[in-house]
Amino acid sequence: MAQVTLENLSKVYPEKDGPGVTAVKSISLEVADREFMVLVGPSGCGKSTTLRMVAGLEEITSGTVRIGGQVVNDVLPKDRDIAMVFQNYALYPHMTVYENMAFGLKLRKFPKADIDARVHEAAAMLGLESLLGRRPKALSGGQRQRVALGRAIVRKPKVFLFDEPLSNLDAKMRVSTRTEISKLHARLGATMIYVTHDQVEAMTMGDRICVMKDGDIMQVAEPLELYNRPRNLFVAGFIGSPPMNFFRGFIRRAQGRLVFAEDNPGGAPVTVALDEVLARRAAGYVDRKVVLGIRPEGIRDTQAGVPAEEGRTAEVRVEVSEPMGSETLLYLDSGATAFIARVGPTDRFEAGERVRVAFDLANAHIFDAATELALA
């Protein structure tokens, strides 16, 4: 396998009468040997373009791509020793599963016995042995995706590249297939770069995650590091489902302690007394605009019997209650901020009801409203 290194990589699509559209903005990223790296971000953030430049399917405007220490900017895709799995499977409809998996090896003139051994080994790994004689039209979406994976595995490449491979599958099949890919990574010990817009896929599959926005890298870290210590407002809001709640307001000094006061001129603002950690971070932001970030699990119903810290409760309005079985999601409104609380499965609420909620600041964050960076 191999390390993949991107150095100041850029991609600009030319325009007839303009400066061009910059899809990737001089990014640098190092993917370690045998690492599972996930590129995640909203549509148009540049993640698929980055992957295609690594594969050699997009021309690089500037910067360098190295695979296994070798600069591959001018190396043809077929000579980069990579295998790519696409969103739309890209199987040959007139070929059987066996023939689809063997095709790349035949083009490279591998011995027949070697091809047969590799195809059967991959088929056993993916549970495809009984399907080798079928054509793609006789397969389900999940089976087709496994054939596409098998076609990549038989190559035994230095690097596997995945471009949103689960997007065409239904919800249940996505869960099972992402588990298969994770098992495959553990079994092969391969270097893998995986592109997705689904942050749940990113959190559950990646050794590390690279969060992208508008062609830039926002943060690269392990999944729980991103979740617990986001570098900026975008990462905090993108990673997590439901997303982090954001309250815009000011840091005020009241009765000898620092509090967050929501910007809510039309009603009663939410005020939250800061704990020691947040107070230390916000010490230089008194009377300045900030954003308080609290995840849904950090907001609870005070009727649940758990004691609330003094100065960390607020009365708000219930907009929608969503019983999920293992939990209930409460969609709440303070008058200035719509936010979500994750409460117990047996808690029942009616739309329009007024409830008092408590804020747990154990994993809360404060961001500079101007720069959107987390206060350290």
CATH number of 4-238: 3.40.50.300
Sheet holding 70-71, edge to edge: 21-31, 4-13, 62-67, 70-71
Contact 312, 269 (CB under 8 A): no
Residue 306 has pLDDT above 90, yes or no: no
**Where along the chain do the CATH 3.40.50.300 domains lie?**
4-238
d(CA 328, CA 162): 35
Q: Give the whole-angstrom CA distance, residue 156 versus residue 82.
A: 9
**245-368: which CATH topology?**
OB fold (Dihydrolipoamide Acetyltransferase, E2P) (2.40.50)
> What crossing angle do the helices spanning 141-153 and 171-188 adopt, rounded to 10°?
20
- 157 — phi, psi (to 5°)? -80, 170
Question: What stretch(es) of the chain map to CATH 2.40.50.140?
Answer: 245-368
Over pLDDT 90: what percentage of the chain?
Answer: 74
Interval 109-139: pLDDT, tens: 999 999 999 999 999 988 899 999 999 999 9
Which contacts (CB < 8 Å, 24+ apart) does range 140-146 have? 140/173, 141/168, 141/169, 141/170, 141/173, 142/169, 142/173, 142/176, 142/177, 144/89, 144/91, 145/85, 145/89, 145/169, 145/177, 146/177, 146/180
Query: What is the pTM for the complete model shown?
Result: 0.90
- 73 forms beta bridges with none
Query: 135, 375, 154, 364: which is closest to 270 by C-alpha?
Result: 364
pLDDT in tens, 46-95: 999 999 999 999 999 999 999 999 999 999 998 999 999 988 888 999 99
User: What gap in Å lies between CA 368 and CA 282, rounded to an integer?
Assistant: 9
Least confident residue range of 51-65, 262-276, 297-311: 297-311
